[in-house]
């Protein structure tokens, strides 16, 4: 079985924004503060369960909002209801999707001019109920083109809009009927651009596959319409919330399956469905399954962090043409491993929503991973006292590493500060600690190599966060690109990579780097590939694969250094 995943599957910007502001409120909540959402924040049961675990209540009447911090749902609410909530709530956070808010403004503007508003959408859907509230009693919701014939003939001023997640083909048919009945009527195509892209991609994908699987809540309007679009292409279509809703015997009949998802479906749910479908395939060999399992363990257990830290010392050794002490190199890898393990366990409740499989692994192996991180790091830390020249780098790494673990929330409050702390920690472990003796022998060369390593690690961590954001794993957390914006951040990253490449080419000719510097084109190429290929507005990526590519690209020059030095 071949599984093709739609690039636009998963969270839209409106859902992402609603979760961001809600989780930000949770993070900043005062001890006595109660946070609630008016109605379900989005239409996804698994995400709502995550919010309940974080103490976010769901209320359905203004009276229940009294004295609480209330988050207005992504679908929006009627204006009179909002006024009632403002009158009793202690604080109100508006998480209404910006696109929905624009439609609300259009309806209100025309209603004040005496227009009747016709909304193409589900009358019982939260968004449509909210939109009708802005029509000042002159609004009506319809679902089918035939419903146009039921409207009064004597309306002079009529506005036609659509629920932002409406099926485009149905809306276009409604527009034709509307124009015939109301030649002077105004039509506003208010279907969200993301909805248009998703439906068009599903339409094209359905023509290439034997069956379509649409992942998302059964009560999610945009997900239901994606399933309708696929079914209209004449292909067998399965609307599921999780992989457990699929019958493996039935799905085994198909050779090629397309997968897409609604705008309120987190990435991990899509990945679970894809993995489930892939395990059904009789063509998928045991060697591939074994390779996948090994890769999963490397990433989930943070063993890849140990390998990256350990071998990075040998990669740096190539630039100085000095072989690091093997025990100090092991200590560098173990401390990188320990920091990553502790960071994961300190934040794994957040990962629970974003990646339940990873969370399950962390819970099952908690004692083993934490024990190894503590015991092995303490044992190998004794090597520093045998090599006093490693002490400055060791102390600097411990200082910044401790700051990452203890003051992580404070570091996150200043965009970019966390990346500086991480990069300084990794640079201290892989450059200053194993090559501390070069401070007095080759000071300039060590400074250049340290700057080079810092920039590479900074780029690495920033790209990993970019990828995790695309995978919905950093929602509710401020990052550097939340300030700069995605495209601007990507431009800065590519500019930084060009500067690194220029330094790698000039370093040997200036005598501050060895000719082995050219090998570092490999990790820069790997980072550039991930940035170019996987970091997009709505591009689905494989968590394990991208982590291996990013960290693996740093491992390659390290392996060469381990063999040559």
63 is catalytic: no
CATH second-level architecture of 12-97? 3-Layer(aba) Sandwich (3.40)
Q: Give the pLDDT confidence score for residue 116 in this predicted structure.
A: 95
Cα 394 to Cα 285: distance, rounded to the nearest angstrom: 45
Burial of 188 from C-beta contacts in 10 A (0-12 / 13-18 / 19+) = middle
Residue whose C-alpha is closest to residue 401's, from 365, 427, 431: 427
Does the pLDDT value for residue 473 go beyond 60?
A: no
Cα 417 to Cα 403: distance, rounded to the nearest angstrom: 11
Domain at 203-285, CATH from 3.40.50.2300, 3.90.550.10, 3.40.1010.20, 3.40.50.300: 3.40.1010.20
Collect all residues with Cβ–Cβ distance below 8 Å to 364 and sequence separation of at least 6: none
Cα 554 to Cα 560: distance, rounded to the nearest angstrom: 11
Q: Give the pLDDT confidence score for residue 352 in this predicted structure.
A: 47
Tens digits of residue pLDDT in 70-98: 999 889 999 999 999 999 999 999 999 99
Average pLDDT over residues 340-353: 65
User: Pairing between strand 186-187 and 211-215?
Assistant: unpaired
Helix (H, G, I), strand (E, B) or coil at 93: strand
Dihedral (CA of 30, 403, 492, 192) sign = negative
Cα 23 to Cα 47: distance, rounded to the nearest angstrom: 12
Average pLDDT over residues 122-134: 92
Q: Give the pLDDT confidence score for residue 194 in this predicted structure.
A: 80
Quickly tell me which residue has 């092995």 as its tokens.
Answer: 376
Average the pLDDT over each of 409-418, 487-496, 533-542 and give the range with the smallest value: 533-542
Quickly tell me which residue has 């924040």 as its tokens.
Answer: 41
Cα 475 to Cα 479: distance, rounded to the nearest angstrom: 10
Cα 529 to Cα 119: distance, rounded to the nearest angstrom: 44
Helix (H, G, I), strand (E, B) or coil at 140: strand
- pLDDT band per the 50, 70, 90 thresholds, residue 141: very high
Average pLDDT, the chain: 85
Cα 121 to Cα 142: distance, rounded to the nearest angstrom: 6
User: For 100-193, which CATH class?
Assistant: alpha beta
Cα 325 to Cα 333: distance, rounded to the nearest angstrom: 12
Collect all residues with Cβ–Cβ distance below 8 Å to 49 and sequence separation of at least 6: none
Does the pLDDT value for residue 377 go beyond 50?
A: yes
Cα 515 to Cα 318: distance, rounded to the nearest angstrom: 9
- pLDDT band per the 50, 70, 90 thresholds, residue 129: very high
Cα 522 to Cα 500: distance, rounded to the nearest angstrom: 12
Average the pLDDT over each of 84-98, 113-127, 290-304, 342-356 and give the range with the smallest value: 342-356
Does the pLDDT value for residue 3 go beyond 60?
A: yes
Three-state secondary structure readout of 240-305: ECCHHHCCHHHHCCCCEEEEEECCCCCHHHHHHHHHHHHHHCCCCCHHHHHHHHHHHHHHHCCHHH
Average the pLDDT over each of 399-408, 444-453, 552-561 and give the range with the smallest value: 399-408
Helix (H, G, I), strand (E, B) or coil at 166: coil
Q: Which is more confidently placed, 362 or 415?
A: 362
Q: Give the pLDDT confidence score for residue 210 in this predicted structure.
A: 93
CA end-to-end distance (rounded Å), the chain: 46
Check if 100-193 and 203-285 are the same fold.
yes
Note every long-range contact of 18-22, with CB atoms under 8 Å and residues 24 or more positions apart, other chains counting. Answer: 18/42, 18/71, 18/73, 18/74, 18/95, 18/97, 19/47, 19/475, 19/476, 20/475, 20/476, 21/71, 21/93, 21/95, 22/51, 22/56, 22/71, 22/93, 22/95, 22/476
Domain locations in the chain as residue ranges: 12-97, 100-193, 203-285, 293-564
Burial of 496 from C-beta contacts in 10 A (0-12 / 13-18 / 19+) = middle
The torsion defined by the Cα of 531, 46, 121 and 85, in degrees rounded to 10, comes to -100
Residue 550 has which token pair? 């990013």
Determine which one of 24, 127, 168, 169 is catalytic: 127
Does the pLDDT value for residue 416 go beyond 80?
A: no
Query: How many CB atoms are closer than 10 A to CB 527?
Result: 25
Residue whose C-alpha is closest to residue 336's, from 297, 278, 394, 386: 394
């Amino acid at each position: 079985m071949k599984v093709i995943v739609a690039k636009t599957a998963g969270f839209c910007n409106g859902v992402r924004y609603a979760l961001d502001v809600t989780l930000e409120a949770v993070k900043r909540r005062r001890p006595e503060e109660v946070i609630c959402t008016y109605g379900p924040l989005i239409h996804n049961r698994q995400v709502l369960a995550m919010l309940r675990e974080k103490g976010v209540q769901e209320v359905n009447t203004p009276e229940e909002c009294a004295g609480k911090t209330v988050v207005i749902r992504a679908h929006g609410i009627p204006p009179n209801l909002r006024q009632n909530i403002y009158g009793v709530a202690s604080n109100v956070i508006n998480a209404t999707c910006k696109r929905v808010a624009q439609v609300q403004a259009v309806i209100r503007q025309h209603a004040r001019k005496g227009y009747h508003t016709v909304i193409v959408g589900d009358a019982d859907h939260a968004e449509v109920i909210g939109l009708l509230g802005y029509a000042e009693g002159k609004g009506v919701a319809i679902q089918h083109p035939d419903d146009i014939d039921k409207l009064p003939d004597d309306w002079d001023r009529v506005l036609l809009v659509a629920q932002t997640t409406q099926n485009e083909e149905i809306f276009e048919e409604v527009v034709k009927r509307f124009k015939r009945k109301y030649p002077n009527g105004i039509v506003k195509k208010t279907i969200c651009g993301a909805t248009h892209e998703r439906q068009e991609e599903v339409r094209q994908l359905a023509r290439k596959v034997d069956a379509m699987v649409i992942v998302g809540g059964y009560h999610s309007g945009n997900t239901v319409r994606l399933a309708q679009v696929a079914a209209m292409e004449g292909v067998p279509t399965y609307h599921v919330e999780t992989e457990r809703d699929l019958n493996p015997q039935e799905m085994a009949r198909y050779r090629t399956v397309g997968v897409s998802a609604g705008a309120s479906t987190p990435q991990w749910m899509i990945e679970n469905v894809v993995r489930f479908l892939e395990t059904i395939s009789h063509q998928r060999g045991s060697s591939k399954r074994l390779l996948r399992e090994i890769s999963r363990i490397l990433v989930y257990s943070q063993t890849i962090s140990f390998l990256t830290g350990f071998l990075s010392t040998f990669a740096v050794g190539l630039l100085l043409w000095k072989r690091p002490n093997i025990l100090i190199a092991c200590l560098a890898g173990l401390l990188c491993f320990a920091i990553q393990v502790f960071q994961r366990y300190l934040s794994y409740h957040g990962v629970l929503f974003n990646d339940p499989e990873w969370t399950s692994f962390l819970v099952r192996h908690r004692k083993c991973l934490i024990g190894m991180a503590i015991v092995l790091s303490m044992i190998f830390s004794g090597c520093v006292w045998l090599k006093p020249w490693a002490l400055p780098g060791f102390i600097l790494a411990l200082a910044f590493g401790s700051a990452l673990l203890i003051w992580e929330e404070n570091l996150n409050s200043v965009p970019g500060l966390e990346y500086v702390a991480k990069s300084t920690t990794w640079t201290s472990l892989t450059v200053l600690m194993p090559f501390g003796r070069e401070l007095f022998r080759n000071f300039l060369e060590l400074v250049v190599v340290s700057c080079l390593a810092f920039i590479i690690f900074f780029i690495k961590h920033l790209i990993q966060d970019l990828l995790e954001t695309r995978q919905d794993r950093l929602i509710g957390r401020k990052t550097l690109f939340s300030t700069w914006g995605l495209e601007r951040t990507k431009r800065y990253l590519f500019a930084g990579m060009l500067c690194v490449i220029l330094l790698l080419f000039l370093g040997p000719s200036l005598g501050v780097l060895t000719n082995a510097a050219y090998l570092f084109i490999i990790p820069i190429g790997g980072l550039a590939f991930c940035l170019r290929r996987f970091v997009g507005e709505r591009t689905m990526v494989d968590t394990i694969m991208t982590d291996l590519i990013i960290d693996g690209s740093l491992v390659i020059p390290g392996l060469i250094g381990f063999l040559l030095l």
